[in-house]
Amino acid sequence: MTITRTDWSEKINPTVQNIPPSGIRRFFDLVTETKGVISLGVGEPDFVTPWHVREACIYSLEKGYTMYTSNSGLLELREALAVDLDNTYHVKYNPRTELLITVGVSEALDLCMRTLLQSGDEVLIPEPSYVSYAPCTVLAGGVPVFMSTGMDDSFRITADLVQSSITPRTKVLLLCYPNNPTGAVMDRDELEKIAEVAVEHDLIVISDEIYDRLTYIGKHTCMAALPGMKDRTLLLNGFSKAYAMTGWRVGYVAGNPDFIAAMTKIHQYSMLCAPITGQMAALEALKNGQPGMRRMVEHYNRRRNMVVQAFRDMGLPCFEPGGAFYAFPQTSVTGLCSEDFAEELLKEEQVAVVPGNVFGTSGEGFVRVSYAASLDDLSEAFRRMGRFVRRRGVRSRLISAPIKIQRPERAGISQSL
């Protein structure tokens, strides 16, 4: 029998074929090839999951909790989440019908898109945006429509911007505040106006609130807690960031019971359930992890102040992030585009940051710097970055682009994913 090679390029679904791999991943292949690198690139807490959480999970394994849970997740965890949401935001969810435990916010986002979108439905996404939003939209048959923000508007959207981005095909408004990659937070007044627009145009709001507890300026407003918004909001959250639990893979969606039931069908056939060990750990984090979480947040806040000041001292304009653990300094003042800045910094000074253009075209001219790193690493990284910026020199501040909407054909979607 003659062996013929399969032409996989013909077999792979073109929608998947056309999606570029994450720009962050491509950049981090470079990082692993370079010695002595201080990485301020990954969006991951530098803390290990608190000991009491790890211990609770060890006990659960000793007791033999190694099986599937219900598709919806452990009822005890859903009950604890319902209490937590009520205590924090005064929004009541029925743990049996309005909560689904997922494999991180990542799965939650994918499920929301696949359950909501039909071919051609438009999803409004503030940009710069987290790298998964546009690909998950496209994979579900939707069309991402980016709403550009810049440093001059503190990387916030406005109700007017949302209003002017709406077409008859707009179905979803996807929000992420505090924001990855900019650290921007929204104030309640503007969110209320945005909520009115969502109601007027019958939009579903997907609110990714994975950084809600990491808010340093003002008080976080939960979209679902605004008047009339609980039923049209899909609230996404998880344990990765606030509780330093990225590897446990636990997140959740809170929302309308019919929608949760529909999502659960995809979840039960594709994922079955989130891992029980992670769910046990999440339960412990919710019950006893609040003081530890608050201590971590205090650490991030101290580093945030130091990082913003350090960028400004070296002449890079840096907007003050109100949440998450990222700074987004403007590096175009060195005359380098985002990719060149990040690559040359890595090669010359062995410091890894993420080029802003991987978060979309309006991220060009910036880099994302995670300050979820030890103070020692941050101090050394800033010494090296200062040296690098001094060598390049700093030109006068470039004014960031005015707010604009990027329709897909103009946005060059494949580049900005």
From the CB of 115, what's the least distance to ligand PLP, in Å? 17
Residue 176 or residue 333: which is nearer to ligand PLP going by CB?
Answer: 176
Q: Which is closer to ligand PLP, CB of 89 or CB of 130? A: 130
Binding residue (CB under 6 A) for ligand PLP from 98, 208, 209, 284: 208
Closest CA to 368 of 137, 233, 182, 117: 182
Segment contacting ligand PLP (CB under 6 A): 101-109, 167-175, 253-261, 334-342?
101-109
Tell me how far apart the alpha carbons of residues 100 and 296 are, in angstroms, rounded to a whole number: 27
Task: Please state whether beta strands 204-208 and 233-238 pair in parallel, antiparallel, or not at all (unpaired).
Answer: parallel
Using the rule CB under 6 A, is 97 a contact of ligand PLP?
no
In terms of CB distance, is 368 or 392 closer to ligand PLP? 368
Q: Rule CB under 6 A: which of 257-286 touch ligand PLP?
A: none
| Residue of the chain from 238, 292, 356, 365 that contacts ligand PLP (CB under 6 A) | 238
* 212 near ligand PLP, judged by CB under 6 A: no
* Binding characters for ligand PLP, 162-201, by CB under 6 A (x = yes): --------------x---x---------------------
Among 103-111, 260-268, 307-315, 379-387, the segment contacting ligand PLP (CB under 6 A)? 103-111
Selected from 246, 277, 290, 350, the binder of ligand PLP by CB under 6 A is 246
| Closer Cβ to ligand PLP, 182 or 330, answer by number | 182
Work out the burial of residue 211: count CB atoms within 10 Å of its CB; fewer than 13 is exposed, 13-18 middle, 19 or more buried: buried
Tokens of residue 241, six digits: 């960031």
Report if residue 251 touches ligand PLP, rule: CB under 6 A: yes
Sheet containing strand 367-370, strands side by side:
326-327, 367-370, 354-355
- Residue 356 lies near ligand PLP (rule: CB under 6 A): no
CB of 210 to ligand PLP, least distance (A): 5
The site that binds ligand PLP (CB under 6 A) totals a number of residues, namely: 13
**Structure tokens given for 361:** 């075209």
Using CB atoms, what's the residue nearest to ligand PLP? 104
Q: Contact 371/40 with Cβ under 8 angstroms?
A: yes
Establish if 104 lies at the interface with ligand PLP (CB under 6 A): yes
43 contacts ligand PLP (rule: CB under 6 A): yes
Per CB under 6 A, residues contacting ligand PLP are: 43, 104-106, 130, 176, 180, 208, 210, 238, 240, 246, 251
